Chains A and B, each alone.
Chain A
Amino acid sequence: MTVQERVKQFIAKNFYVSDPSQLTDEVSLITAGYVDSTGMLEIISFLESEFAIRVEDKEAMPENLESIGRIAAFVARKQALKA
């Protein structure tokens, strides 16, 4: 499974989305109402355990986390740094 797919699966499950096909890579998770600020913390904690990365406070920004596409790109950058 790609990073996108794993993140999407987590969001559909954890935020009980009735129609996961609505979860495109681009859709804004906050604006579309899937995730609130508490939910973002749930996503961060999922990313840290699932992909063995550490999300710094200063990285917990919408630019990195507001869509599945951005999350995947962010995870890829973090993993590249580690490698």
Chain B
Amino acid sequence: MCGIAGSVALADGAPPPSLEDLQAMVGALRHRGPDEFGLYRDTHAALGHARLSIIDLATGQQPLCNEDGSLWVVFNGEIFNYLELRDELLALGHSFRTRSDTEVIVHAWEAWGARAFERFNGQFAIALWDAGRRRLALARDRLGVRPLYLCEHAGRLWFASEVKAIFAGDPTIPRALDPAGLAETFTFWSPVAPQTVFQGVTELEPGHARVVSRDGVEDRAFWEPRFPVAGRGAFPGSLPEAAEEVRARLEEAVRLRMLRADVPVGSYLSGGLDSSLIAALGRKVKGEKFLTFSLRFADAEYDETSFQREVAARIESDHHEVLVRREDIAEAFPAVVFHAERPLLRTAPAPLFLLSRLVRESGIKVVLTGEGADEMFAGYDLFKEGKVRRFWGRQPASTLRPRLLDRLYPYLARSPVAQQALAREFFGRGREGWAEPAFAHRIRWQGAAALQRLFHPDFQRRARSLDVVARQLARLPAPFREWSFLAQDQYLEVRTLLGAYLLSAQGDRMLMAHSVEGRFPFLDPTVVELANALPAAYKLRVLDEKHVLKRAAAGLVPEAILRRPKQPYRAPDALSFVGEGRPDWIEEVLGRPAVAEAGVFDPGAVERLWAKCRATGGAEQFSNADNMALVGALSTGLLDRQLIRPAPRREAPAELRTFVDRLPAPAGRGPAPGAERPQR
């Protein structure tokens, strides 16, 4: 786990990258990899690396090259099946100097070219520079665990794990918020790759490899999710057989992630089914006690302490907790936005930022998490809601069918008749389009997009000049409409929420802020392939979510965990920002001058929003939509004042452990600093 950065000239005759620029890029990624730093440079390209040492501590430094030094790599992440690939490559005649997974990438590229990436079971962002052929290859793992951003400017392509490193590399790159990126944020909760919130900056799509050479750019998906079509490719076994297979594959996924590390691995433990199962399997494969980490909330509404402790006691883990209060969220929020590098509509990433700090302080660099289970095994209410609303849509005049909504949202049955009628009106809107793609999602997307009414009229016009939903739906894979409705909903959820938001803003960024690597057994390719092949009814059995997973977990986690209703992970939103003694930056970023300067929102509209928040104390009268609007306004303001307005921070990292400089030394002067240092 690490940060990577680099740049390559797009035309002959461009000046070589300067050492200061490269050091500034690596310096901006120091939090991702504080252990060692490395640079490679020749006349055309440069690669930089900030290392978090996890595998092959002694000799795994980067950049790293092949036998003859013609092919260089920097790499963020893990290739969990690197030992198996190494054996395969040895048999093909490749020779290895290190025990690292990084070196496997170099030889795999030599052996298989762009087909190498589909053989990797891992989470990775990779940059390979073929100095001889002047080709740069970039690749990102299947679901987007690891980030990789790109920016073309003044004849060079800049790339890095985080946007702030690109801005640090060339401070002349214009920095501005992109209306399309904001429109996606205020629709899907986050921009969806290749879109970002920064003008001129794109993100490599998950599961894609891109080759940049003098012949141009070739971008190709090396992996796409597959679901059964008319039963073809479906898991053929019974439900109990499926549960058995899920359990076996998950255990193997946990084994790879628990044991393939040269440092101790811990586990997150939320108290829900997914992380409890992962932690239990972790304990089983490790065969001894290990560390677990949990978030507690001072607000009882969000807290799951008793379930967490029950699991920790059951697996006898060395359990660590951090108690999160509203004021902790407010205090951490500027740093959270700095790391997330996008506006947020929820504060939910903030507690995870505090949790990774606890992990780091406990001396742990790697944690397993349960992320991905809700997408792969259909855990979210969205999937049930889609099922009920489609059932209703098939007989739109039915008065019985909408009553199923009460089973999903029991508060409806207890509500005044007026609220029930309005809620039905809300859920029933557009139900005649029940067979259309994104039928389940549109209602959510419209809810978030409605908040664009806060945008300044000019910005709103630019944001709405592009229909971001239509653009997303135009990119659906060819067989999409032939998949089951549940599969369609899962695909969209993986693409627009898991990859774009949960794994990044709430995952990688919050973990790496404190130099902690997350590992995701539910995203192991063999687990994903199996989950996608399962019949919809194994995952969502009538309205029982993650049914097959609960069966797989039986006997491994306490009975109470299997039986408890699913509790969505949430944190106090507006409530975190209204208390006495709140930080000064809140009033500043919501104030007219700052809002006007950022240019996204209408200052008067933000003023009205903030007045409503204070008047209601951010409590029940401040609705769900109001909460998203407020957190969105705060985070956009923080983003503007941390990453757009100020000149980028340019700090060189500490000493370079690896430095390979292939620039010809200028006449009359000695070699560039450090160039004489032998490459290890």
Contact = CB atoms under 8 A, between A and B. Distances in A.
* Size range of the chain A interface in the assembly: 20 to 34
Given A18-B454, A57-B416, 15 more contacts: A12-B608, A15-B453, A16-B605, A16-B608, A16-B629, A18-B453, A18-B604, A19-B457, A19-B602, A32-B450, A36-B625, A38-B624, A60-B417, A60-B421, A62-B425
B233 interface: no
Given A38-B623, A41-B419, A57-B417, A33 B608 contact: no
Contacts of A58: 417
A66 B606 CA distance: 25
13 contacts: A14-B612, A16-B454, A16-B605, A16-B606, A18-B454, A18-B457, A18-B602, A34-B450, A39-B623, A57-B416, A60-B418, A60-B419, A61-B421
A33 B419 contact: no
A39 B460 contact: no
A49 interface: no
A1 to B, nearest CB: 18
Given A16-B629, A18-B602, A37 B426 contact: yes
Nearest to A13: B608
A71 to B, nearest CB: 14
A13 B419 CA distance: 22
B360 interface: no
Nearest to B430: A31
Contacts of A3: none
Interface of A: 12-19, 30-34, 36-42, 44, 55, 57-58, 60-62
Interface in B108-139: none
Interface of B: 416-419, 421-423, 425-426, 429, 446-447, 449-457, 460, 601-602, 604-606, 608-609, 612, 621, 623-625, 629
Nearest to B419: A41
Given A16-B453, A18-B453, A18-B454, A41 B422 contact: yes
Contacts of B418: 41, 44, 55, 57, 60
Contacts of B447: 33, 36
B460 to A, nearest CB: 7
Contacts of A37: 419, 422-423, 425-426
Contacts of B446: 33
A40 B604 contact: no
A8 B621 CA distance: 20
A32 B447 CA distance: 10
A13 B613 CA distance: 12
A18 B605 contact: yes
Given A37-B423, A37-B425, A19 B460 contact: yes
10 nearest A-B pairs in the assembled complex, by CB-CB distance: A33-B450, A18-B602, A60-B418, A57-B417, A18-B605, A16-B609, A37-B422, A16-B608, A37-B426, A38-B623
A39 B421 CA distance: 13
Contacts of B416: 57
A57 B422 CA distance: 10
A18 B629 CA distance: 13
B453 A34 contact: yes
Contacts of A34: 450, 453
Nearest to B455: A18
Contacts of B455: 18
A46 to B, nearest CB: 12
A23 to B, nearest CB: 10
- Looking at B416, B419, B449, B452, the one whose CB has the most chain A CB atoms below 10 A away is B419
B421 A38 contact: no
Given A34-B450, A38-B624, A18 B460 contact: yes
A16 B612 contact: yes
A18 B456 contact: yes
Contacts of B612: 13-14, 16
B618 to A, nearest CB: 15
A41 B285 CA distance: 53
Quick one: which of A31, A41, A61 has the most chain B CB within 10 A? A41
A14 B621 CA distance: 11
Contact of A57 (B421, B429, B457): B421
Contacts of B602: 18-19
Nearest to B422: A37
B606 A36 contact: no
A42 to B, nearest CB: 8
Contact of A33 (B422, B426, B453, B621): B453
Contacts of A39: 623, 625
Nearest to B456: A18
A36 B419 CA distance: 11
Nearest to B448: A33
A30 B421 CA distance: 14
Contact of B453 (A13, A17, A30, A38): A17
A30 B429 contact: yes
Nearest to A61: B421
A15 B629 CA distance: 10
A42 B625 CA distance: 13
Contacts of A31: 429
B382 to A, nearest CB: 16
A49 B200 CA distance: 50
Contacts of B451: 33
A49 B163 CA distance: 50
B426 A30 contact: yes
Contacts of B621: 42
B33 to A, nearest CB: 42
A30 B601 CA distance: 21
A14 B608 CA distance: 7
Contacts of A38: 623-625
A34 B621 CA distance: 17
Contacts of B625: 36, 38-39
A60 B456 CA distance: 32
A41 to B, nearest CB: 6
Contacts of A55: 418
A32 B460 CA distance: 14
A39 B446 CA distance: 15
A62 B629 CA distance: 25
Contacts of A62: 425
A38 to B, nearest CB: 4
Nearest to B425: A62
Nearest to A12: B608
Nearest to B608: A16
B477 to A, nearest CB: 29
A34 to B, nearest CB: 6
